[in-house]
Amino acid sequence: MDFDTPLAEAWVRAIAAAVEKEQGRLTELDSAIGDGDHGSNLRRGFSAALAALDGLRPAGPGAVLTKVGSTLISKVGGASGPLYGKAFRAIGAALPDPALADPTDPAGPAAVAEALAAGLDAVRTLGKAVPGDKTIVDAYTPAVAAFRAAAGAGATLPEAAAAAAEAADQGARDTVPLQARKGRASYLGERSIGHQDPGATSTALLFRALADVTAS
Amino acid sequence: MDFDTPLAEAWVRAIAAAVEKEQGRLTELDSAIGDGDHGSNLRRGFSAALAALDGLRPAGPGAVLTKVGSTLISKVGGASGPLYGKAFRAIGAALPDPALADPTDPAGPAAVAEALAAGLDAVRTLGKAVPGDKTIVDAYTPAVAAFRAAAGAGATLPEAAAAAAEAADQGARDTVPLQARKGRASYLGERSIGHQDPGATSTALLFRALADVTAS
Amino acid sequence: MKKLINTPESVLEDALAGVAAAHPELTVDIPNRVITRAARPAGPKVAVISGGGSGHEPLHGGFVGPGMLDAACPGEVFTSPVPDQMLAAAKAVESGAGVVFIVKNYTGDVMNFELAAELAAEEGLAVRTVLVDDDVAVEDSTWTAGRRGTGATVLVEKATGALAERGAPLDEVAALGERVNAASRSFAIALTAATTPAAGKPGFDLPEDEIEVGVGIHGEPGRRREKLRPARALAAEVVDTILADHHLAPGDEVIALLNGLGATPLLELYIAYGEVAARLAERGITVARSLVGNYVTSLDMAGFSLTLTKADPQLLELWDAPVDTPALKRA
Amino acid sequence: MKKLINTPESVLEDALAGVAAAHPELTVDIPNRVITRAARPAGPKVAVISGGGSGHEPLHGGFVGPGMLDAACPGEVFTSPVPDQMLAAAKAVESGAGVVFIVKNYTGDVMNFELAAELAAEEGLAVRTVLVDDDVAVEDSTWTAGRRGTGATVLVEKATGALAERGAPLDEVAALGERVNAASRSFAIALTAATTPAAGKPGFDLPEDEIEVGVGIHGEPGRRREKLRPARALAAEVVDTILADHHLAPGDEVIALLNGLGATPLLELYIAYGEVAARLAERGITVARSLVGNYVTSLDMAGFSLTLTKADPQLLELWDAPVDTPALKRA
Ligand SMILES: Nc1ncnc2c1ncn2[C@@H]1O[C@H](COP(=O)(O)OP(=O)(O)O)[C@@H](O)[C@H]1O
Ligand SMILES: Nc1ncnc2c1ncn2[C@@H]1O[C@H](COP(=O)(O)OP(=O)(O)O)[C@@H](O)[C@H]1O
Ligand SMILES: [Mg+2]
Ligand SMILES: [Mg+2]
Ligand SMILES: [Mg+2]
Ligand SMILES: [Mg+2]
């Protein structure tokens, strides 16, 4: 399996569906240590991203994800809009785009790993969070590490994506005992301890969606 | 027993105590069909009246009640302030005042009946309510009638006051099925039916207080 | 009950202390409970005095200042003021041209202002009373105390205040006030009940999905209860209810006051106003001027009222006239 | 949840339609979510642009007009606006003298305005950003996102707006904004939590006898919970907390903003202000100017915030300068 345009689109659709389904939980998590809008923020963003895809065909997977990133930046707002927006733009830019490159050499697991890593770099550059700050970074970092390790060990795209999803889930759960040091939750100080971070949770949804669409 | 200055003062004190005790109930009744301030209105008024009495001695019973009326007008506001204020001023003006009249000829039951009736007239002149409108008038009218009848039949002041208290109580209870046509409760139309009128209820307290202080 | 107060008994006095501290341009006589402008008029002018129970802020104290009221008499919460207040206010601000009392039509207000007018007349003052009764929720019949005075009070105060400022004589100012009132109709919807400090609990119980339609500003219940509906539907109902009672024809102009009852966010008031404006347009009524915000509140009640005043060139001109009060300012 | 809305999704758009209908003196670009003055400046002037999540009305749209903001960019409820809005606003109102962005210090606001500033710079606009971070409830350390921007925003917007109106150059306007922010501290107490339309229930549960001390304007919980106390005690605590963090000495003058969080009656805000003024007097601080009312709200949250800005002749003069916006007017 290659990371081609249909797969990119399927990923975005799967994220949109997951966000729709989990909107309530994301909002609930954000109410506990934030301002209760993370679910509706992402829902607004990914439904706009879906709509934006329709005007794009035919485009490469990189163009699809770049467009998703731009749409998120334009529609979400809040902390997660620029962060996820920049991430998808970076992933899109880093993915070998068949429209530009040799169409017979589509992105394999290693190239996808580097593209996902570029997304993480974008998040860290903009948000300046480090692992342990109780943010998106805490799910994204282990997910990239797992994806990269699997790809390096010769895994297929579905296998690497599944490993990344597992790691992201674990990373999200591991935010529970952390004290937030970035974003709105940091105002809570010690009172942020004991709650799972909404952004890390949505990052896990993103990676789970990738695993789902590559597996099927 | 005569209606002398100590009795007038005792009556005012008894009213103030009753209002203090029943404030919650009056407010509750007024919440149901009005704006929930009748208890605090009367409490404010009668505690000011008590304070005003201290500066009055020695004065006749008429002067005491006139002062109470003026104080109620100055301190209560709302519908009940002017109505009870005018009533007490009229009662005070109508009571034979020992300071002016022959000190050996104090007010007997018949004179008290006429003074109380003057109070009712004042209420009706100012408020333009008739019996059946679900107001103060519905307790006050039967109370005066009973007092007058008793006095006419040769009753003592305690006996006449007890009869008036009984009639006022009954009059207040009889407001329950009425539809209000005056005051704030009239806005409710048929929804005012089924609730006892707060003003009629406080009028019954006034007459009950008179019965209590004359009896003891 | 959670309230930002010291004690239920001291609410009015404590609030007046705050008004005094916040507004050096006003004189607050705390013992007499009278708010006046700190600066007296240069020559004789009709004094416009309003008053009513507290809990409706900024009404009335927030409208004292050049171009609007000369004095306000705040009563206890939801309780009309006492005659002594109006007399003290009249004596403080009259300057030889007479006094207009603006009175909302509630039994208590009417009687207390009536007694005040008698006392003022005894002191040789010329007094006119303008009664405001704009709430179409109440049938005006011999079976009720008549329509309540609500949002139109702001328009009556603004117009009479502007006219008085120009030196118009007493009868003219009073007649204008009556004209503005006659040209005005209001209707209100409550999402929650108000809690007075004295009562300590809501004036009525309203289920989590119901609203009170035609509510009064003291929490007097309204025409009926119904399920909460979208703002668009509520706005249409409020507009239609007022128009059913108002002598307005397509093409007529109105001044519209979309008023918050106290606890409704301005964001929602703007949503309601957008729907009101759309509905009025559908019905062919032109909004010449509008005002959106909390002007005649009912403590912490959530909801809104709409007041529509038929406009004409004189009213618009007076509405636009300069005013400088805590709650309404125009250069 | 009882709200005067159509749907949770359309809250912002519907409210903007209402703002457009109510304020002909403003231009509301609903698709782009930008509010600007209808009248463009005569010559080049620095454009002052602010923005942030909705739900804090009248902030920011209510402060657009001569003497204050050139444009406001409202985000979704409690969500910072997107860079496209700020770019559209900048392009709409810049007149050759550059643009100042006023940004409250929240991660989302900071990042979105940062992206907007990049985009604007790409378009050749000169942009300066003023960060507002006045809330002393948050420790400003490397362990947090820094202090939140709250009530001081009104003062920054007023002062920079007044200075820009006079033709001051870009760097001077931005430097003034930073100076006002540095001179300001705020602290808030909530009696109830806000309910966003999207969440449908209160952001936090607060028992019937407890308050949240040091709360944020999005319902971010504060320093601690405690029992409700009389207004006098709460006012003293708020004043003392601010003074503990502020470089104020007895004899200093301040501008005081006693701000309602949305659902607290004005009557109670005046009570709180009276107590604040008394406490400041005790501490030897002189209130040179004050403002009491709902200016930086948090939807239907009950409670108040206090902002104290150290005053000096320039700030007072800018504070007193003419302004003509929906929510703040001065002749
Ligand atoms: N500096 C940051 N770096 C990475 N992620 C962050 C940062 N700040 C906040 N986040 C993430 O954003 C999430 C909140 O997103 P959202 O609720 O949409 O925005 P907002 O906080 O503006 O309401 C947090 O749960 C956290 O994971
Ligand atoms: N016109 C009237 N004549 C007689 N009594 C009246 C009249 N209007 C109102 N009342 C009485 O006043 C009572 C309410 O008093 P109160 O609550 O103190 O004043 P308000 O209605 O102004 O809040 C009513 O219960 C009723 O008995
Ligand atoms: Mg959030
Ligand atoms: Mg009452
Ligand atoms: Mg009352
Ligand atoms: Mg947010």
Closest Cα to atom 3, ligand 1: which residue?
Answer: A127
Both structure tokens of A46: 């990914």
pLDDT surpasses 80 at A99: no
* Total domains present in chain B: 1
Distance, CA of A93 to CA of A100 (rounded, Å): 12
Q: What is the mean pLDDT of chain D?
A: 96
Q: Does chain C touch chain D (at least 3 C-beta pairs within 8 Å)?
A: yes
Active site annotation includes C247: no
Work out the number of other CB atoms within 10 angstroms of the CB of residue C170.
17
Between helices C170-182 and C152-165, what is the axis angle to 10°?
A: 150
Concatenating the DSSP letter of every residue in C231-271 gives HHHHHHHHHHHHHTTS---TT-EEEEEEEE-BSS-HHHHHH
Residues 6+ apart with CB under 8 A from C181: C130, C131, C132, C133, C134, C152, C156
Pair D203, D195: CB distance under 8 Å: yes
Whether the link from the prior residue into D250 is cis, omega within 30° of 0, is no
Condensed to tens digits (0 to 9), the pLDDT of residues B111-166 reads 999 999 999 999 999 999 999 999 999 999 999 999 999 999 999 999 999 999 99
Distance, CA of D305 to CA of D296 (rounded, Å): 9
Write phi, then psi, for C329 (nearest 5 degrees).
Answer: -135, 140
C-alpha A192 – ligand 3 centre gap (Å): 14
Mutate to test the pocket of ligand 2, among B38, B40, B174, B192 (most ligand atoms within 8 A of CB): B38
Condensed to tens digits (0 to 9), the pLDDT of residues C58-89 reads 999 999 999 999 999 999 999 999 999 999 99
> Which residue type sits at C109?
D
H or E stretch including B148? helix B137-152
Per-residue pLDDT of chain C (331 residues; tens, 9 = 90+): 899 999 999 999 999 999 999 999 999 999 999 999 999 888 899 999 999 999 999 999 999 999 999 999 999 999 999 999 999 999 999 999 999 999 999 999 999 999 999 999 999 999 999 999 999 998 767 677 889 999 999 999 999 999 999 999 999 999 999 999 999 999 999 999 999 998 888 988 899 999 999 999 987 877 789 999 999 999 999 999 999 999 899 999 999 999 999 999 999 999 999 999 999 999 999 999 999 999 999 999 999 999 999 999 999 999 999 999 999 999 8
Q: The dihedral of CA C207, C211, C214, C215: what is its sign? A: positive
> For residue D320, what pLDDT band results from cuts at 50, 70 and 90?
very high
SS3 C113: helix
Give the ligand at the shortest distance from the Cα of C54: 5
Query: Helix, strand, coil % (nearest 5) of chain C?
Result: 35, 25, 40
Please tell me the distance in Å from C311's CA to the nearest CA on chain D.
16
**What pLDDT, on the 0 to 100 scale, is given for residue C224?**
87
Q: Which of C23, C56, C60, C246 is catalytic?
A: C56
Range of the domain at B150: 5-215
Distance, CA of C245 to CA of C256 (rounded, Å): 16
Active site annotation includes C218: yes
Condensed to tens digits (0 to 9), the pLDDT of residues A154-201 reads 999 999 999 999 999 999 999 999 999 999 999 888 889 999 999 999
- Local structure of residue D145 (DSSP, 8 states): S
Distance, CA of C181 to CA of C150 (rounded, Å): 10
Q: Does chain B touch chain A (at least 3 C-beta pairs within 8 Å)?
A: no
Q: Domain with B101 in it: what CATH number?
A: 1.25.40.340
Pair C178, C195: CB distance under 8 Å: no
Whether the link from the prior residue into C81 is cis, omega within 30° of 0, is no
Condensed to tens digits (0 to 9), the pLDDT of residues C100-151 reads 999 999 999 999 999 999 999 999 999 999 999 999 998 767 677 889 999 9
The rounded radius of gyration (Å) of the Cα atoms in chain A is: 16
* Cβ-based contacts of B189 with chain C (< 8 Å): 139, 143-144
C-alpha D52 – ligand 6 centre gap (Å): 10
Q: Which of C23, C60, C218, C246 is catalytic?
A: C218
Quote ipTM for the complex.
0.94
- Which residues does a 6 A CB cutoff place in the pocket of ligand 2? B 30, 34-35, 37-38, 41, 78-80, 83, 123, 127-129, 135-137, 182-184, 197-200; C 79-80, 107-108
Whether the link from the prior residue into C246 is cis, omega within 30° of 0, is no
* Cβ-based contacts of A37 with chain D (< 8 Å): 76-79, 196, 198-199
**What pLDDT, on the 0 to 100 scale, is given for residue D181?**
98
Q: The dihedral of CA C21, D300, D22, D81: what is its sign? A: positive
